[in-house]
Amino acid sequence: MKNIAVIGAGTMGNGIAHTFAQFNYKVSLIDISEASLEKGMATIAKNLDRMVAKEKISEADKTQTLQNISTFTTIKEGVENADLVVEAATENAVLKSKIFKELDDVCATNTILATNTSSISITQIAAATNRPDKVIGMHFMNPVPIMKLVEIIRGYNTSDEVMETIAELSKKVGKIPVEVNDYPGFVANRILMPMINESIETLYNKVAGVEEIDTVMKLGMAHPMGPLQLADFIGLDVCLSIMNVLYDGFKNPKYAPCPLLVNMVMAGKLGIKSGEGFYDYSESRKAEKVAKMFSLS
């Protein structure tokens, strides 16, 4: 396996492309937006510069990594020689199914199709193709070049051979693969997102403020960042999307998204990406200042 195509140049997509390219795989980074591709490549270059500054890689390594990545604005061109395609588009089941149907049409018959979905059924996505045995979940963690875990999700029809191939590939790019089965939220988000949602409920019910909730979890449970800060980092729209997948999948009220989360997303308060969530990021990308609406409560 030498040629990897990555669909989506956003946070996860450019991180996945960076990781494979750094381990000398030839990567095609695909996005319908030229501007998104330029931004994604700039992010990769910036992250590589940080690694050079920390002496984790050399300047030559940085140059080689960037040379290993080619960009494309159409799926057909980008996947022409791909042994593996990793889809990292928006967390939307309809969109992902549409992408996988196109991939099935244009990719070679032996190409493995992976999705970076954090919650949507692999079996559902695979149903859009004529190769469900070659469809698998590769849920990378953010930031991809740093985080070691990859959740490997087996769809109902995913073959043992594909499972083993992707697990071995993950190890070759410095990751630790963990195999899980195909249920809403898998393991990571089935546990994490209800905790974040409950933290938002705690704020909504005025049990404590933003900093107080995060401080309890950081100091009491040794979490590196509090759940509200983490929600801002992930993106509140993403959190809401995953909670909706859990709620729709299990039909259990405990997975219903908090009304405060719903309202914040509708108001465009999405966290770091929008400049404001539970914290105000207008002056710094660090969670140093509580957002005005919560600092008054």
| Marked catalytic residue, from 14, 36, 151, 199 | 151
Instruction: Identify whether 143 is preceded by a cis peptide bond (ω within 30 of 0).
Output: yes
Let me know if 198 is a catalytic residue. Answer: no
> Does the annotation place 209 within a ligand binding site?
no
| Marked catalytic residue, from 18, 47, 68, 139 | 139
> Does the annotation place 1 within a ligand binding site?
no
| Marked catalytic residue, from 118, 119, 121, 170 | 118
Distance CA 60, CA 44 (A): 15
DSSP string computed for 206-242: TSS-HHHHHHIIIIIH--SS-HHHHHHHH-HHHHHHH
State the chain's maximal CA–CA distance in angstroms.
Answer: 58
Task: Return the ∠ at Cα 224 (arms to 219 and 225), rounded to 5°.
Answer: 90
> Does the annotation place 13 within a ligand binding site?
yes
> Does the annotation place 91 within a ligand binding site?
yes
| Marked catalytic residue, from 68, 170, 189, 199 | 189
> Does the annotation place 10 within a ligand binding site?
yes
> Does the annotation place 271 within a ligand binding site?
no
> Does the annotation place 172 within a ligand binding site?
no
Decide: 100 and 122 in contact? Cβ < 8 Å: no
Let me know if 189 is a catalytic residue. Answer: yes
> Does the annotation place 130 within a ligand binding site?
no
Let me know if 139 is a catalytic residue. Answer: yes
Let me know if 24 is a catalytic residue. Answer: no
> Does the annotation place 142 within a ligand binding site?
yes
Closest CA to 195 of 228, 172, 149, 169: 228
The one-letter code for the residue type at 151 is: E
Residues contributing to the annotated binding site for NAD(+): 8-13, 31, 91, 96, 118, 142, 273
Q: Which residues are the active-site residues?
A: 118, 139, 151, 189
Residues annotated within a binding site: 8-13, 31, 91, 96, 118, 142, 273
